[in-house]
Amino acid sequence: MCGIVGYVGPQSALQVVVDGLARLEYRGYDSAGVAVLGEGALHTEKRAGKLANLRGALEEHPIAGEGAGIGHTRWATHGAPNDVNAHPHVDNDERVAVVHNGIIENFAALRLELEDVGCKFISETDTEVAAHLLSTELARHGDKDLAAAMRAVCKRLEGAFTLVAVSVDDPDLVVAARRNSPLVVGRGQGENFLASDVAAFIAHTREAVELGQDQVVELRPDSVRVTDYDGNPVEVNEYHVDWDASAAEKGGYDYFMLKEIVEQPRAIADTLLGRLSVDGALTLDEMRLSPEDLRSVEKIVIIACGTSYHAGLIAKYAIEHWCRIPCEVEVASEFRYRDPILDRQTLVIAISQSGESMDTLMAVRYAREQRAKVLAICNVNGSTIPRESDGVLYTHAGPEVGVAATKTFLTQLAACYLIGLYLAQVRGLKFGDEIEAVIAQLATMPEHVEKVLDTVEPVRELARSLADADTVLFLGRHVGYPVAMEGALKLKELAYMHAEAFAAGELKHGPIALIEEGLPVVVVVPSPQGRSVLHDKIVSNIQEVRARGARTIVIAEAGDESVRPYSDVLIEIPAVPTLLQPIVATVPMQVFACELALAKGNDVDQPRNLAKSVTVE
Ligand code: M6R
């Protein structure tokens, strides 16, 4: 939530910062603003709404400046999304400007204290206290040491924050502080960058520096200095970003989401790459947890939010089936508040695309305090959750810019399957052949997804025909149930429609009362092979809703003729093992939601009220 950019160097800071904000807009789009230094003054411009509004304002009133610059794209927490509450915020003398991501929880008390000493507040934000505090501390340091002032301010703040500031008294300096909210440095030649995400500066440099918890960084054109809140220098971790700027471009598509759906076969292949050795065994070297660690696991708890939670629900079926280890799945925001039972024999798997979801991060910290081992499944290299976990398995989906998770979901599934199979392998469970067979099937998933993508045109037509529907229901059983939940979530967030998923077996316990003439009901049908009981039961469920007037949209394995008579629309997917079916069954749902949202005129990359990563609780 909220995107932050900082730049210091010979280029136009305004240009670099605005371009950076364009790449971070997925993090929030309630307002955007910039501050640049020049000619002994601070020049700010900010506008409610998307970045286009800020760009328009900057064209009408150009601002000049040769010094450092900062920028912000906002997802509103405190105060309405208007011009006044937009960041940056400045002190009363307009000598310092601050942008912020997070929530300053003790802002009300600080605001009263600052008002008592004469500070005039103009916004409703929590951030403005940081601007006034910084100015007060800076005055204490003879207007010279912005970093020292920042360290002093941070000690007074409670909550989660990344703060980035500039001061007219030192125009070639950007100072930032990090607690809980993401921030990464980009090292250039004679210039340096700061951002919530490397995407903001990837066009300029691929050399990045991770910032740790409670650290302050001073950025000058030729130096990057990182200290703790007491001013002690700290060692930092530098890394090379292995994707380039084109990965975060639309590449000829109208929307990132359309591109990201199409990228799925490649993303799955990249996630599987290098994990399967020639002898059929799995190698997950990067994950840091030893086979001994994994052999001692007695219980698994998966924590995640949103789409990542759905990946966790599917993982439970696979892990319990392959490894016979009890596995619980819980939304991260509920987890630590119910006093869960964890110990050294518990493996907590935290799934997070961004690695920054605050709910998941807090659950990870809680689990580690309880001595559980934590393994992260994450897409963003160097992000907070994998850094604070005992081990990590990175998905290699590449940057996902569309707010709705698509390719990262399928790669999370691939990663979950890898972990399940690896656990079975290291624990020596007696079905080596089965493991090898599943691994071989997993390796074919990219081509199956490709096939689904080649045949989804009828799904697009169907979606356009349902643009005026009020409600769509989704049904599934077994792994098809979380797939149905994911289909409903996609429709809610993109098309702003009432969409709800039910375990098909629960229908007759209440939800069937919702069925009325013409109501679209999407049903995910398990493979008729193997678990045929499950298959036959859902075929009965389809008939039950159809008998009551529902319009049935059935997603079933190609060649499954048993469902054809009861399907108003039949969407065929390739035959794959039941546990892997979510990978292929999800794709038509993504396309369905995306197309339906487009038919309604919605922006599928930046759906209303949402932000890509939720970095506040
Ligand atoms: O970055 P994370 O995977 O931790 O994010 C979790 C959810 O916020 C995320 O999946 C969200 O539900 C997406 N908008 C779904 O499309």
CATH number for 310? 3.40.50.10490
* Across 484-512, average pLDDT: 96
Residues 161 and 264 in one domain: no
* Across 203-223, average pLDDT: 94
* Across 562-573, average pLDDT: 95
What are the tens digits of pLDDT across the range 436-445? 788 889 999 9
Is 614 a domain residue?
A: no
The closest-lying atom of ligand 1 relative to the alpha carbon of residue 306 is 12
- Ligand 1 pocket, 352 CB below 6 A? yes
What are the tens digits of pLDDT across the range 31-83? 999 999 988 899 999 999 999 999 999 999 888 878 899 999 988 888 888 99
Residues 43 and 108 in one domain: yes
The one-letter amino acid at 167: S
The closest-lying atom of ligand 1 relative to the alpha carbon of residue 408 is 3
Peptide bond into 88 cis (omega under 30): yes
Q: Which of 570, 587, 213, 134 is nearest to 385 (CA)?
A: 213
Residues 211 and 296 in one domain: no
pLDDT level of residue 431 (50, 70, 90 thresholds):
low
DSSP string, 228-265: ETTS-B---EEEE--S-GGGGS-TT-SSHHHHHHHTHH
- For 96-121, give one letter per residue: b (16+ CB within 10 A) or e: bbbbbbbbbeebeebbeebeeeebee
Is 608 a domain residue?
A: no
H helix or E strand, kind and range, residue 329: strand 327-331
Both structure tokens of 66: 């040769």
How far apart are alpha carbons 600 and 595 in whole angstroms? Answer: 9
Residues 262 and 216 in one domain: no
Whether residue 473 has pLDDT greater than 70: yes
Q: What is the largest CA-CA distance in the chain?
A: 81
Which single residue is written with the structure tokens 């509450």?
A: 85
Q: Residue 79 class from Cβ within 10 Å (0-12 exposed, 13-18 middle, 19+ buried)?
A: middle
Residue 354 CA to ligand 1 centre (angstroms):
8
The closest-lying atom of ligand 1 relative to the alpha carbon of residue 404 is 16
pLDDT level of residue 529 (50, 70, 90 thresholds):
confident
Is 72 a domain residue?
A: yes
Residues 223 and 327 in one domain: no
How far apart are alpha carbons 36 and 8 in whole angstroms? Answer: 10
Is 330 a domain residue?
A: yes
Q: Which of 385, 416, 443 is the last residue of a domain?
A: 443
Could you tell me if 8 and 221 are in contact, meaning their C-beta atoms sit under 8 angstroms apart? yes
Q: State the residue range of the domain holding 102.
A: 3-247
Residue 357 CA to ligand 1 centre (angstroms):
8
Residues 517 and 492 in one domain: yes
- Ligand 1 pocket, 360 CB below 6 A? yes
Whether residue 354 has pLDDT greater than 70: yes
Mean pLDDT (the chain, rounded): 93
- pLDDT score, position 503: 97
- Distance set, CA 141 to CA 145, 146, 214, 331 (Å): 6, 8, 21, 46
Which single residue is written with the structure tokens 């990219």?
A: 446
Could you tell me if 184 and 195 are in contact, meaning their C-beta atoms sit under 8 angstroms apart? yes
- pLDDT score, position 106: 93
- pLDDT score, position 419: 95
Residue 56 CA to ligand 1 centre (angstroms):
31
- Ligand 1 pocket, 491 CB below 6 A? no
Residue located nearest, by CA, to atom 12 of ligand 1: 306
Strand pairing class (215-220; 41-48): unpaired
Three-state DSSP class for residue 89: strand
DSSP string, 187-207: E-SS-EEEESSGGGTTTT--E
Residue 335 CA to ligand 1 centre (angstroms):
16
- Ligand 1 pocket, 613 CB below 6 A? yes
DSSP string, 94-163: S-EEEEEEEEETTHHHHHHHHHHTTPPP-SS-STHHHHHHHHHHHHHTTTT-HHHHHHHHHHH--EEEEE
Q: Which of 411, 443, 475 is the last residue of a domain?
A: 443
Residues 422 and 468 in one domain: no
Residues in Cβ contact with 616 at an 8 Å cutoff, skipping those fewer than 6 apart: 1, 77, 102, 103, 160, 358
Region of poorest pLDDT, from 80-84, 119-123, 150-154, 343-347: 80-84
The residues annotated with a catalytic role in the active site are 2, 612
Residues 480 and 348 in one domain: no
* Across 13-40, average pLDDT: 92
What are the tens digits of pLDDT across the range 322-337? 999 999 999 999 998 9
* Across 296-320, average pLDDT: 97
H helix or E strand, kind and range, residue 522: strand 520-524
- pLDDT score, position 77: 80
How far apart are alpha carbons 322 and 4 in whole angstroms? Answer: 43
pLDDT level of residue 531 (50, 70, 90 thresholds):
low
Residue 312 CA to ligand 1 centre (angstroms):
12
What are the tens digits of pLDDT across the range 129-180? 999 999 999 998 777 899 999 999 999 999 888 999 999 999 999 999 999 8
Mutate to test the pocket of ligand 1, among 196, 305, 385, 388 (most ligand atoms within 8 A of CB): 305
Region of poorest pLDDT, from 182-186, 430-434, 526-530: 430-434
Whether residue 222 has pLDDT greater than 90: yes
Is 605 a domain residue?
A: no
Q: Which of 206, 227, 247 is the last residue of a domain?
A: 247
Whether residue 311 has pLDDT greater than 70: yes
What φ, ψ does residue 58 adopt, rounded to 5°? Answer: -70, -30
Both structure tokens of 184: 């990464």
439 vs 415: which has the higher pLDDT: 415
Mutate to test the pocket of ligand 1, among 308, 329, 364, 613 (most ligand atoms within 8 A of CB): 308
The pTM assigned to this predicted structure is 0.87
What φ, ψ does residue 225 adopt, rounded to 5°? Answer: -120, 130
Residues 186 and 258 in one domain: no
- pLDDT score, position 278: 64
Domain count, the chain: 3
Is 314 a domain residue?
A: yes
Residues 336 and 428 in one domain: yes
Both structure tokens of 343: 């110990």
Is 211 a domain residue?
A: yes
Residues 484 and 551 in one domain: yes
The closest-lying atom of ligand 1 relative to the alpha carbon of residue 357 is 4
Residue located nearest, by CA, to atom 4 of ligand 1: 352
How far apart are alpha carbons 538 and 18 in whole angstroms? Answer: 52
Which single residue is written with the structure tokens 């970045």?
A: 51
Q: Which of 223, 344, 328 is nearest to 293 (CA)?
A: 344
Both structure tokens of 147: 């970093």
How far apart are alpha carbons 509 and 503 in whole angstroms? Answer: 10
Region of poorest pLDDT, from 103-112, 501-510, 521-530, 608-617: 608-617
- Ligand 1 pocket, 146 CB below 6 A? no
The closest-lying atom of ligand 1 relative to the alpha carbon of residue 403 is 14
* Across 426-434, average pLDDT: 75
Give the domain CATH number at 25. Answer: 3.60.20.10
Whether residue 455 has pLDDT greater than 70: yes
- Ligand 1 pocket, 438 CB below 6 A? no
- Ligand 1 pocket, 590 CB below 6 A? no
N residues, the chain: 617
Residues 344 and 399 in one domain: yes
Torsion angle of the four alpha carbons 419, 483, 248, 596, in this order, in degrees rounded to the nearest 10: 180
Is 500 a domain residue?
A: yes
Q: Which of 399, 442, 455, 459 is nearest to 590 (CA)?
A: 459
